[in-house]
Each structure stands twice: as C-alpha cells, then as structure tokens.
C-alpha cells in the first residue's frame, strides 16, 4: 500500500510503500480480541486480598466452654460468622491472571490491526519528528498543527482538539518522550515496543519513516 509522507509541518514530501507483510493483512477480529484480552490479563496486578480465619488477629482460646452456658458452641472468635473474623471465599493475592499468548498470535493480531488502520487511512507517515527542547507546549502544537493540516479535508475544513495519538519512532527521542508524557491521549514509543493495545487504543497513528523499516526488520 502506497501512502503519502509529510514533514512535521504537514507539507507533502513524497510517497512510501508500506510493507504488505505488516500493513496488507486481512482483518481478523477474533484474533485481535484474543491478543488484547491476553495482553490486558498479563498486565493485571493482584491487589485485592481478604484475610481468612488463619490470618486475622485474635483467636487461640476457646471463647467459652462447650456445654452448660446455653449459648451456641464456638471454637474461635476468628470464625467467619464472628464480627472481625476471617472472610470466606474472599479475593486473595494468590490468584493468577496470567495467560499464555503465543508470539505468532501476538504478531498476527498486531499486523491485523495495523492493516485495518492503513485501509481506513488512520496511519500518517512523517519524515522525522524532532523538537529542540522537551517542552509540552511545543510538541502539543506540533502534533495538533500537523494533524489539522494533513487531515483538514477529511474533517470538512473544521479544526478539532487533539485526539488520542500514538507516535512511533525508529529510535528513542528523550525530548519527545518527556514533552508528550503530560499530554492526555498522546503517547510516544519506539517501534520495537509497539504492541496491539497501544495500536488499537489510539485514534491516529503517526509513524516516522525510519520506524517503518524497523518494524519490518523486527516483526516480520
């Protein structure tokens, strides 16, 4: 698939062929769902934990003798039916949410998402994206002006606020990363760290020209 390339001011500079091995695959919703669910499950942290009767404080001595008091028999005040006792069937930190997702499925799902984005013209290619100083205001204005200029006719001439954007670079640029991390909905990553969750969450994907080559070398 051939797409236009732009400089960071939004002016067209040429064209580039997106590798069909990455951007020319058939969309597979089931495969995408499987990869996304697995990715989110592997990122999940086990935080909730309820103490059972062996973990709460107290207990040890029998509350009262077995017979002769007229009250129900009890062996410990740590029983779940007592106030302050342990919790029955509560969440524990021993749960494991990890899922094994084969690398082949991860890669195929990522290619499926990127191919769908390319077909819907949601992928933009820029020659290079650089800023002299890590200023949030600078990178916000740069990305906003770029998208508004390149995608102006698709929005019928109306400028809109910056939507969620994923910027993929061939190599890490500390200035860009530091400047963009305070902007809601904007994320800057290296091509080697590209994953399906980032690709499917952003409404617009901006690839630097060298990142296309890096993706083909690493993932194909």
Q: What is the DSSP string of 26-76?
A: PP-HHHHHHHHHHHHHHH---------TTTSS--SS-SS-SSSSSSPP-S-
Handedness of CA 24, 25, 28, 31 (dihedral sign): negative
Distance separating the N- and C-terminal Cα atoms of the chain: 16
pLDDT along the chain (220 residues), means of 10: 91 93 94 96 94 91 95 94 94 94 95 95 92 91 89 56 86 92 92 95 94 92
Is 22 domain-assigned?
A: yes
112 & 189 share domain: yes
**Do the Cβ atoms of 186 and 205 come closer than 8 Å?**
no
In a domain, 62, yes or no: yes
Q: Which two tokens stand for residue 104?
A: 């082949």
2-6, strands of its sheet edge to edge: 12-17, 2-6, 123-126, 204-208, 165-169, 186-190
| Planar angle of CA 157, 187, 170, nearest 5 degrees | 100
Number of domains in the chain: 2
pLDDT score recorded for residue 109: 96
pLDDT value of position 58? 87
Task: For residue 38, tell me if it sits in a domain.
Answer: no
> Both 190 and 89 in a single domain?
no
pTM: 0.83
Q: What is the pLDDT of residue 79?
A: 94
- State the CATH number of the domain containing residue 102: 3.40.1370.10
| pLDDT value for 158 | 56
Domain that holds residue 70: 45-96
Residues 102 and 92 in one domain: no
């Amino acid at each position: 698939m051939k797409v236009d390339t732009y400089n960071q001011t939004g002016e067209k500079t040429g064209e580039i062929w997106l590798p069909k091995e990455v951007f020319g695959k058939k969309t597979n919703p089931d495969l995408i769902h499987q990869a996304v669910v697995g990715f989110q499950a592997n990122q999940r942290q086990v935080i909730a934990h309820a103490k059972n009767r062996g973990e709460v404080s107290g207990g040890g001595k029998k509350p009262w003798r077995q017979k002769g008091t007229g009250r129900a028999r009890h062996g410990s005040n740590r029983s779940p039916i007592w106030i302050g006792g342990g919790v029955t069937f509560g969440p524990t930190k021993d749960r494991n949410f990890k899922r094994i997702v084969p690398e082949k499925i991860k890669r195929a799902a990522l290619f499926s998402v990127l191919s769908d984005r390319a077909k819907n013209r949601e992928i933009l290619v820029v020659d290079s994206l650089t800023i002299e100083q890590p200023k949030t205001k600078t990178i916000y204005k740069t990305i906003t002006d770029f998208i508004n200029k390149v995608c102006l006719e698709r929005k019928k001439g109306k400028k809109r606020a910056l939507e969620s954007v994923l910027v993929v670079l061939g190599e890490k640029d500390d200035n860009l990363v530091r400047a963009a991390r305070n902007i809601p909905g904007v994320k800057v990553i290296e091509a080697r760290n590209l994953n399906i969750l980032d690709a499917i969450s952003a409404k617009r994907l901006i690839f630097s020209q060298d990142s296309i080559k890096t993706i083909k070398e690493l993932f194909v």
